[in-house]
Amino acid sequence: MIFIKIILGVDHQGIKIKDSIIEYLKKNAINVECSELKNFDADDYPDFALDVCKKVLNENCLGILICGSGIGMSIAANKVKGIKCARVFDENDAFTAKNHNGANIIAFGINLDLEKIYKIIDTFIATKSPCEERHLRRIKKIDKIEQGLYDEL
């Protein structure tokens, strides 16, 4: 059995579905740890994104970020070196994010119904990391861009 750990971060909008997601993950034997930052009515999604990113990198695990749309969380997360966060809308996005792009975090908004969210999470967890040369080549280019070393145009 493969040990899977998910770090979950939600802002004041994501809190609406946080408990359902935690319950779902635990029911499916997925170890879930939540950001320890406190939620309040005017909390700021970049704080939760940064907290989750640090934990994902330190613990070499996967992350899930939830805000109103998933856009702000994904933008903030992608500012952290070593993070590849994709805002996903369906299972195909989750598969492609991880298998083609090496995503270690997904982000989505609260506008999705829970059954769809569960399918997205299941797909993200079950999908293998990239192994095809074309995907690995592209990911290396992304890493070079992140390091300021890519100038192959």
pLDDT tens-digit series, residues 21-64? 999 999 999 999 999 999 999 999 999 999 999 999 999 999 99
Q: Annotated catalytic, 67?
A: yes
Record the pTM: 0.95
Sequence letter at residue 85: C
CA distance 34 to 129: 23
Do residues 38 and 90 lie in contact, with contact meaning Cβ atoms separated by under 8 Å?
no
CA distances from 134 to 43, 46, 52, 98, 100 (A): 40, 32, 29, 14, 9
Among 12, 61, 100, 135, the active-site one is 100
* Domains of the chain by start residue, with CATH: 5-146 (3.40.1400.10)
Q: Of 34, 53, 67, 85, which is the active-site residue?
A: 67
Percent of the chain residues past pLDDT 70, beyond the cut: 98
Active site residue 61: no
